[in-house]
Amino acid sequence: MTHTTPETPRASHGEADGDVLHRLSTLDRFLPVWIGVAMVGGLLLGRFVPGLDDALAAVEVGSVSLPIAIGLLVMMYPVLAKVRYNELGHVTGDRRMLGTSILLNWVLGPALMFALAWLMLPDLPEYRTGLIIVGLARCIAMVLIWNDLACGDREAAAILVALNAVFQILAFAVLGYFYLQVLPGWLGLDQTDLDVSMWSIAKSVLVFLGIPLLAGFLTRTFGERAKGREWYEGTFLPRIGPAALYGLLFTIVLLFALQGDTITNQPLDVARIALPLLAYFFLMWGGSMLLTKALGFDYQRATAVSFTAAGNNFELAIAVAIGVFGVTSGQALAGVVGPLIEVPVLVGLVYVSLWARRFFPRPTRATETSPAGA
């Protein structure tokens, strides 16, 4: 999920938990509001601008209209420019943390979303498919904010974010084909609306993740080489960060402009999409915290692993849904509802995490201060 600031001031053990919202940037704090305004603006645009769908389809990149493709790439690039790719070299330092994160992110997370989507949306195949795609898109950005607000291990979170960014390229298409085509067949579930090839998913991932991933990697590599990490993260990233939100809002406006009739005729669909998302966030985060506590993780690393597992990369999910199923599809709408639910829920889970800190051993001073240099 997008975030607009690369660095959030860390809270100490003695800092008041009530300061969490004040440590979010204004753009991040009111993200659900901006998304809501974009939704309403899109609905009005679709109602009062006839022929908008034909205009958007005039020029296409693959099966995606050029304006929407630009919006998708713009919202992905700042997110991927924030990833510290060189941290992947340190990932073998804690193989237990690495293995736990891979299990949660790439095995349990997608399986849980698949189960919730089929249990709660058995009669809405398009939205169900959209949620399964959301479950496959693991968080690579905003988890850094939630982790910092909850006083988690910053270095561990940066490593796991970099790992997820690479895994998206390697695993997304394979898992997408498995959960949309293979597994429903094994379980005897309805596949009528799941006519999708692995290549169609891979193509969208390569375009809408591969291009900004390469651009983000090159930007960080040459930016740090030219002026150092302090300038790159303290000056450059804050300048490009808001572009991710603007790209997301632009895409939402166009999506809702094209989906206006469906949304206004079936307003309860948005609520039905929200229910499995709510269940997913609470179960994924809570289960991750319990598992890491049982495995003997300290609070800082347990928090980093849990927020990484609970968050999702809605930018990628929206891009894949549009690229594979089309901009007016229910799959795309399900992806758009995601960030509207995620932000307030995970802010709430930051408070729960700070409260749960008392159940973990109190760290030594060295442990408490070491992540800040990450």
10-14, 28-32, 120-124: the lowest-pLDDT one: 10-14
Nearest to 236 by CA among 25, 5, 2: 5
Is pLDDT larger for residue 53 or for residue 37? 37
- The confidence score (pLDDT) of residue 8 equals 45
Structure tokens at 194: 């799941």
Q: Where are the alpha helices (DSSP H) in 49-139?
A: 52-56, 66-81, 95-103, 109-120, 125-136
pLDDT band at 372 (very low <50, low <70, confident <90, very high): very low
Q: Which CATH architecture has domain 17-357?
A: Up-down Bundle (1.20)
> Is the model more confident about 238 or about 5?
238
- Mean pLDDT (the chain, rounded): 81
Bigger pLDDT: 336 or 16? 336
Evaluate if pTM is beyond 0.85.
no
Confidence of residue 370 (pLDDT cuts 50, 70, 90): very low
Task: Assign 60 a pLDDT band (cuts: 50, 70, 90).
Answer: low
Q: What is the pLDDT of residues 173-202, one digit of tens each?
A: 889 889 988 898 899 887 644 556 667 777
Sign of CA dihedral 37, 343, 15, 366: negative
Q: Find the range with the poorest average confidence among 11-20, 67-76, 186-195.
A: 11-20
Least confident of 58-67, 198-207, 290-299, 340-349: 58-67
Per-residue model confidence as pLDDT tens digits over 249-293? 888 888 778 777 766 777 788 889 999 999 999 999 999 999 999
Q: pLDDT digits over 103-141, tens only?
A: 999 999 999 999 999 999 999 999 999 999 999 998 876
Q: Is the pLDDT of residue 21 over 70?
A: no
Query: 10 Å Cβ neighbour count for 264?
Result: 11
